[in-house]
Every structure is written in C-alpha cells, then in structure tokens.
C-alpha cells in the first residue's frame, strides 16, 4: 500500500519531479588523478519517494548524494530541486551522514535538533522548540533530550541525526548509508523505524546504500548503479516488499535479480576462467 | 590426515530462564569513604603539596643554612611579611597587569593570523613559515632588541610577551581548525552557515580542545618570559614587578624573600591552571566528551 501511495501523482511521469538529476557527471581530484565518479547519470525523484541509490563501492553513489547536497558541482549535466538548480549546500536538503561524529558534541540532543532550525531562520524559537520535542519523541529519545552526544550509543546518535534532519522538514532528506556503521540488530530496527516514520510523516528521502537487502527494505524505488564510473544500470520498483517481511519469495526474487545485475560481469569472467563448470 | 583433526565432543543443548534480579542483590554498591576521598583529584593534589612542603622543611632544617636554603617556615613568614607590610602585592599587580596586556594582544594577533591561515593558502604558508622561524626563538633573546626599540619599561615587556604567546596560540588554533572532521564541516554547511558565522558556530567549538591547549601553553610562556625579562632589566625600571622583587632580595641576600617571590609566581600559576583553565575545561571540553 505504501509504495502505491508514494506515486499517486506519478502517473505517466507527467507530474513535475521534486528532484531531477539530468545527465550528471561528477569528478573529484585526488593527489595524482582526476577521478570520474559518475558518468551521465539521470533520475527523477517524486514527492514522497523513498528513492535508493544502490551500487557496489566505487560506483559514485555517495558522490552523487554530495552533488545533490550541493557540496560538489557537476562538471556536466544539471541537478534541480523544485525546478531551481542546486548551487550550494542549503537547509532545504538535509543530510544524514554515516559517521557518528556528525552531531555537534558541544550541544545536547535537543540543542542539536534545534540548532539548524534556528541558524537557518526556518522557524521562530517557540515553534522550533515544539518541533524539536515532537521529532525527538518520534525517534524515541524523549528521555535523552538533555544529554550530550558522547553519552549516546551509535544507533541513538543516528536517530538524533535523523530527528535533526526531519525537524527541518526539508524538501528532501539525503541519507548517506546512515545505518552502515551500526550492528546488524540495530540496523534492522532502525530500518523498521525509518519506515514507520515515513508512514507517519510522508517525507521524501534519497537513500544511499550498498546493501541490496537494505535497498529493498527501505526503498520504494531503486536506482542500480554500476561501478567505475557510476552509470545507471536499472531503475526498479520494490512494490512495498520491504514492509511485508524479508523472507518472502518475491523479496528473494528481486534480491537475486539485483544481485545478478551487479555481479553479472564478474560471473561471466569467472565462468570463462572455469570452462568445465 | 583426517584422523588428526580435533573434533570437540557433542554436548547436549539447554535453555535457562534468567533469575530475578532481586536474588543477585544490588548491582551498584556505594563507594566507601576512603574510595571516594581517593577519587577526589583536588584532595590527591593537596596531599602531594603537603608532602613536598614537609620534605622541604625537613631538608632545610637538616641543612641548617638560612642564607642558601631557608626552611619552609621562614619562607612562609617572609611571604606573609612581604604581602602584608612589604611591596609584594604591588609588585604582583604590576606583573599581572603587564602580563594581561601582552597576553591579550598576543591572542588578538594570533586570531588575525589564524583567520588569514584558514581563509587563504598564502595565509597558511605565511603562518607556518613564521611559526617555524619564530616559535623556537626564545622571547628573552629578543629583549635586547626590544629595549633598543621601545626603551626600558612596559612596551618592551609587552613586546616580548606577545612574541612568546602569539606563535604557540596561533599554531595550536590552526592545527585545531585543520583537524575538524569533514563530516562536521559538511553538517555545518548543510545548515547554510558560511563565512564568519560558520567559523564562530562550527569551527571554533569543534577546535576548542586545541585552542584551549594553545591558550594554556601561551599563558605559561607569557608568565615565564615576563619574570625572566623583569629579572634582566628590572633593576633599572621604576615600578618593578615580581621578577624585580626576586632580584632585589637576592642582591640583599634576603634568601627567604627570594623564596617568597618564587612562591608567589608558583601560586599564581597554580591558581590560573587549576581554577581558571580547569573551570573552563570542565564546563566545555570535558562536558562535551571531547576530552576525558
């Protein structure tokens, strides 16, 4: 049901996209090389999408997210949010990072959630307080609101980061492997909580992961990227498989299908190396 | 070969229900008085101080040479006499005033240099070159030049103090800024912070442990330089500071008063370190978990 409602206005793609990434090539410099991270990648995110960028490491998915975040200008192509080109980082696209040190250690949980609302001038003090409390409650951290981040566990820190981003009520939430540094049990729990939050608030999220399983659980639509440099391999619907338990046949089938796409080349190479197999 | 492999014996499986916590008793037990006392940092340090004073007193008594090494008791008597009737408080105030002027100017200049260094590449090169040149140069070595340029008096002292503060503070602050993690920077930019607000609200708090370390080192350098400078030319200056007090009493072979002067230097150092800097530390970097 969830995946269906996510694209009520999708139709034949006639509705204007919230985020449109058009033929984007991103490059970054290392000491000795100019690395092309993505090559002419295009996709469109509709309002309410849980849009997942999936690919093996080195496919430029995080770089792509940084591009959307405005941290990195594309060398080719364009990125537009609500029809306006993205030029610099801004509070209409809140990022949730993988690293636990994204919280400001000199502020309590509540102050961390308040801070972006106040400095960006998004809302007045009273409303900011209100929203902070609401989202801290939503991520189940009510009891920890006045504690400093160093006293929280990894999962709690990520929840604060999510609450902080969501309290801003941004046009789009950008999540860069937010659960990758968590243990498997906590990760599973956080995925479920994120889905519940989405059911509750109906935000739009662009989610980067390298885990096929996580992509199917969290996403409503998955963009599969190939590595070196990242190019679009496929764009798939999950049809709400994530909410229906992870062991079903359809889930496994989609998992296998994506797995085959990502590892096709390698399998071919291995087949050639073992001709009698 | 397969016969050599170790095979653990197959054991039966079992499940257990955890006992009620009441049976186990208190998981947390209050510490005994002695444990709590020995956990108190201030108390431990006072104990060390008392032991040192006691050792001093006993050694000086055994030596029995008030001219070379007065007892702790004599030194304390001299100190009380110098503070209540003598010029010690005046001297101390003079020293502290000069010190604060120099320290303040040094920090302000360090802020300018660090701002230049974080905002431009030339600034970075300038700061690292200047620091590499001047940081190893003892401030006292500049005193003859300072006396030539500014004459006897406060300006010369301020000049050498600035020299001793500036490079230590600038170097530490810059290192601190460079060490702020990329994630934190991006988080700050994500809120739309740029320019001065970005530096003030993200970089400075994030680099605060290094900045504080720089301020501490700068303070110690300034204090040392000041006393040394006063010792060198305090004789001819009109309103001398602590350094001059020490020098004057040595000339008159009032060794107990020399110790009283040194004692004052130490007390002020201890007070600033354990009250002011420690206070700032517990309220900031320790509470934030940036330092243990």
pLDDT at A189: 82
Interchain contact A171–B (C-beta under 8 A): no
**Spatial distance between the Cα atoms of A176 and A67, rounded to a whole number of angstroms:** 12
pLDDT at B263: 87
Q: Quick check: A8 pLDDT over 60?
A: no
**Spatial distance between the Cα atoms of B169 and B107, rounded to a whole number of angstroms:** 7
Q: Which two tokens stand for residue A125?
A: 């003090």
Instruction: Find the mean pLDDT for residues B134-153.
Output: 86
Q: Cβ–Cβ of B192/A89 closer than 8 Å? A: yes
pLDDT at B16: 84
Distances (CA, A) of A228 to A55, A60, A267, B260: 11, 8, 17, 73
What is chain B's mean pLDDT, rounded? 86
- For B195, what's the count of Cα atoms within 13 Å in the CB-facing half-sphere? 1
In the structure, what pLDDT confidence band is assigned to residue A216 with cuts at 50, 70 and 90?
A: confident
pLDDT at A269: 54
Instruction: Find the mean pLDDT for residues B235-262.
Output: 80
The minimum CA-CA distance between B216 and chain A, rounded to whole Å, is 20
Handedness of CA B197, B198, B199, B202 (dihedral sign): positive
Chain A: residue whose CA lies nearest to B289: A150
Instruction: Find the mean pLDDT for residues B50-57.
Output: 92
- Cβ–Cβ contacts within 10 Å for residue A262, how many? 21
**Spatial distance between the Cα atoms of A127 and B150, rounded to a whole number of angstroms:** 58
Burial A94-116 (b: 16+ CB within 10 A, else e): bbbbbbbbbbbbbbbbbbbbbbb
In the structure, what pLDDT confidence band is assigned to residue A270 with cuts at 50, 70 and 90?
A: low
Domain ranges of chain B: 83-283
Domains of chain A: 1-88+202-260 (3.40.50.300)
Closest CA to B291 of A106, A115, A108: A106
Chain A: residue whose CA lies nearest to B288: A106
**Which CATH architecture describes the domain B83-283?**
Orthogonal Bundle (1.10)
A-B contacts at Cβ under 8 angstroms: 63
Distances (CA, A) of B191 to A14, A82, A102, A149, A207: 32, 19, 12, 19, 19
pLDDT at B165: 92
In the structure, what pLDDT confidence band is assigned to residue B254 with cuts at 50, 70 and 90?
A: confident
Chain B residues contacting A via beta carbons under 8 Å: 181, 183-184, 186-187, 189-193, 197, 201-202, 205-206, 208, 284, 287-290
Contact list in B for residue A150 (CB cut-off 8 A) is 288-290
Interface with B, mutate which of A66, A96, A105 (most B CBs under 10 A): A105
Q: Among A59-73, A109-123, A241-255, B252-266, whose mean pLDDT is lowest?
A: A241-255
Q: Quick check: B10 pLDDT over 90?
A: no
Q: Among A83-87, A250-254, B23-27, B147-151, whose mean pLDDT is lowest?
A: B23-27
**Spatial distance between the Cα atoms of B88 and B75, rounded to a whole number of angstroms:** 13
Phi and psi for A21 in degrees, rounded to 5?
-110, 120
Distances (CA, A) of B230 to B88, B224, B225, B246, B252: 14, 10, 9, 9, 17
Instruction: Given the cut 0.85, state whether the ipTM is greater than it.
Output: no
Q: With contact defined as beta carbons under 8 Å apart, do B175 and B124 qualify?
A: no
Q: Quick check: A244 pLDDT over 70?
A: no
Contact list in B for residue A69 (CB cut-off 8 A) is 186, 190
Q: Which two tokens stand for residue B27?
A: 């998981």
Interchain contact A157–B (C-beta under 8 A): no
Q: Among A258-267, B49-58, B188-197, whose mean pLDDT is lowest?
A: A258-267
pLDDT tens figures, A35-50: 888 888 888 888 888 8
Instruction: Find the mean pLDDT for residues B274-292.
Output: 86
pLDDT at B108: 94
pLDDT at A123: 81
Q: With contact defined as beta carbons under 8 Å apart, do A175 and A205 qualify?
A: yes
Q: Which two tokens stand for residue A267?
A: 């399998």
Q: Cβ–Cβ of B191/A119 closer than 8 Å? A: yes
Instruction: Find the mean pLDDT for residues B207-235.
Output: 86
Q: With contact defined as beta carbons under 8 Å apart, do B226 and B95 qualify?
A: yes
DSSP class of B183: H
Chain A: residue whose CA lies nearest to B183: A102
Q: With contact defined as beta carbons under 8 Å apart, do A39 and A25 qualify?
A: yes
Q: Cβ–Cβ of A104/B186 closer than 8 Å? A: no
Contact list in A for residue B202 (CB cut-off 8 A) is 104
Q: With contact defined as beta carbons under 8 Å apart, do A232 and A225 qualify?
A: yes
Q: With contact defined as beta carbons under 8 Å apart, do B88 and B261 qualify?
A: yes
Q: Quick check: A196 pLDDT over 90?
A: no
Q: Which residue in this structure is represented by tokens 């005193």?
A: B143
Closest CA to A159 of A185, A186, A184: A186
Please, which residues have CB within 8 angstroms of residue A274's CB and are 6 or more apart in sequence? none
What is chain A's mean pLDDT, rounded? 81
Interchain contact A69–B (C-beta under 8 A): yes
The pTM score is 0.77
Q: Which two tokens stand for residue B280?
A: 């700032």
Instruction: Find the mean pLDDT for residues A64-88.
Output: 86
Q: For A177, left (φ over 0), alpha (ψ -120 to 50), or beta?
A: left
- Is residue A155 reached through a cis peptide bond, with omega within 30 degrees of 0 on the bond before it? no
Q: Cβ–Cβ of B289/A102 closer than 8 Å? A: no
């Amino acid at each position: 049901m969830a995946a269906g409602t996510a694209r009520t206005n999708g139709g034949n793609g006639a509705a204007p996209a919230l985020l449109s990434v058009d033929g984007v090539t991103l490059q970054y410099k290392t000491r000795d090389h100019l690395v092309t991270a993505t090559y002419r990648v295009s996709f469109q995110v509709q309002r309410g999408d849980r849009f997942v960028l999936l690919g093996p490491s080195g496919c430029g998915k995080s770089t792509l997210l940084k591009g959307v975040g405005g941290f990195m200008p594309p060398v080719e192509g364009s990125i537009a949010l609500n029809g306006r080109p993205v030029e610099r980082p801004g509070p209409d696209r809140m990022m949730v990072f993988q690293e636990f040190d994204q919280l400001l250690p000199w502020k309590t949980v509540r102050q961390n959630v308040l801070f972006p609302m106040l400095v960006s001038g998004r809302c007045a003090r009273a409303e900011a307080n209100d929203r902070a409390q609401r989202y801290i409650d939503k991520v189940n951290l009510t009891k920890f609101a006045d504690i400093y981040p160093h006293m929280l566990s990894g999962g709690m820190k990520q929840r604060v980061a999510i609450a902080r981003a969501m309290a801003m009520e941004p046009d789009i939430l950008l999540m860069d492997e937010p659960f990758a540094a968590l243990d498997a049990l906590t990760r599973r729990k956080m995925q479920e909580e994120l889905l519940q939050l989405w059911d509750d608030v109906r935000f739009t999220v662009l989610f980067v992961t390298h885990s096929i399983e996580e992509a199917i659980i969290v996403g409503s639509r998955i963009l599969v990227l190939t590595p070196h440099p990242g190019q679009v391999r496929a764009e798939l619907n999950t049809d709400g498989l994530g909410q229906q338990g992870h062991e079903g046949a359809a889930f496994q089938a989609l998992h296998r299908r994506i797995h085959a796409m990502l590892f096709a080349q390698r399998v071919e190479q291995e087949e050639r190396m073992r001709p009698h197999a | 070969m397969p016969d050599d492999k170790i095979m653990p014996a197959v054991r039966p499986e079992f499940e257990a229900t955890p006992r009620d916590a009441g049976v186990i008793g208190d998981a947390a037990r209050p510490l005994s008085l002695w444990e709590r006392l020995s956990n108190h940092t201030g108390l431990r340090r006072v104990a060390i101080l008392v032991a040192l004073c006691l050792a001093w007193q006993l050694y000086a008594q055994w030596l029995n040479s008030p001219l070379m090494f007065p007892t702790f008791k004599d030194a304390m008597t001299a100190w009380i006499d110098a503070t209540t009737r003598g010029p010690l408080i005046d001297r101390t105030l003079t020293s502290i005033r000069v010190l604060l002027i120099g320290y303040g100017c040094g920090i302000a200049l360090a802020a300018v240099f660090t701002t230049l260094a974080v905002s431009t590449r030339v600034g970075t090169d300038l700061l690292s070159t200047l620091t590499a040149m001047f940081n190893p140069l003892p401030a006292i070595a500049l005193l003859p030049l300072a006396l030539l340029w500014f004459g006897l008096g406060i300006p010369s002292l301020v000049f050498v103090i600035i020299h001793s503060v500036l490079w230590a503070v600038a170097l530490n602050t810059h290192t601190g800024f460079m060490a702020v993690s990329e994630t934190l920077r991006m988080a700050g930019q994500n809120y739309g912070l740029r320019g001065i607000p970005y530096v003030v609200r993200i970089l400075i708090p994030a680099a605060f442990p290094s900045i504080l370390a720089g301020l501490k080192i700068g303070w110690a350098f300034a204090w040392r330089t000041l006393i040394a400078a006063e010792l060198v030319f305090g004789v001819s200056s009109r309103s001398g500071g602590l350094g001059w007090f020490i020098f004057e009493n040595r000339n008159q072979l009032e060794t107990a008063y020399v110790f009283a002067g040194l004692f004052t230097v130490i007390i002020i150092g201890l007070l600033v370190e354990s009250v002011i800097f420690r206070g700032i530390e517990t309220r900031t970097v320790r509470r934030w978990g940036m330092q243990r």
